[in-house]
Amino acid sequence: MKELMIHEWKDDYLKLPLDQYILTFDDGLYSQFDGIKKINNVFDNIEIRVYISTNILHRGNESQTWNECQDAHERYFESGITTDFLNYDQLLELSKMDNISIGIHGHNHLNLDALAKNKSLKDQLDIWNDDIKEMLFSTIRLIEQRIIDIRDLKLHYCTPYNQLNSLHTAIMRKEFQMYFPYVEMIITGPDRSDIETLLKLA
């Protein structure tokens, strides 16, 4: 079944034939929490995957905010503000729903293309390795907290910015396979449909 990529939530999406797709929510935005609940109220048993960057979760006590994806990332990268993102309790609530799984979306949401333009290959490799190791250890913790479920021996990974780099992918697979030798890492990203395009065609 084709995957449908969603970032910002709009109630207009409920008019679309969402049950014809696997729905993938990138970045773990707080605004998506409300949208996912609305989808489950309107449709039965749609498969939903929520992809989170394991270092970009809301851990504070501040009230959560509804900024769009680009603004949310800018606020995080420039000032460390995480109020636009889901917290552990919300992720745990989502993960308990039978039709929802939590996948990973990098640790720090690296922009591989930008790194390739501005860094040597050695520097890129150092940054990649640090990010992959931190993502691995964070994923282990999320599995222990029962937020990520690997009982079906599958771990879903979505590429940040839909950027697929074969060398980065190979390093990541090797690192994860050391800890999860029987778990298949399923990688998605560039091959998905965009819900905004679908809305324009409706």
Domains in the chain (CATH in brackets) are 3-201 (3.20.20.370)
**pTM for the whole thing?**
0.96
Which pLDDT does position 26 carry in this prediction?
97
Task: Give residue-wise pLDDT tens across range 135-170.
Answer: 999 999 999 999 999 989 999 999 999 999 999 999
Name the band, by pLDDT with cuts 50, 70 and 90, for residue 202.
confident
Q: What integer is the mean pLDDT of 61-68?
A: 94
Which pLDDT does position 97 carry in this prediction?
96
Name the band, by pLDDT with cuts 50, 70 and 90, for residue 89.
very high
Burial of 36: CB neighbours in 10 Å, binned 0-12, 13-18, 19+ = buried
The C-alpha R_g of the chain, in whole angstroms, comes to 17
Enclosing H/E stretch for 188:
strand 184-188
Which pLDDT does position 31 carry in this prediction?
94
Mention every residue, 6+ apart, whose C-beta is less than 8 A from residue 17: none
Which pLDDT does position 121 carry in this prediction?
95
pLDDT greater than 90 at residue 60: no
CA distances from 156 to 7, 101, 192 (A): 17, 9, 14
Q: What average pLDDT does the structure give for the chain?
A: 96
Q: What integer is the mean pLDDT of 13-41?
A: 97
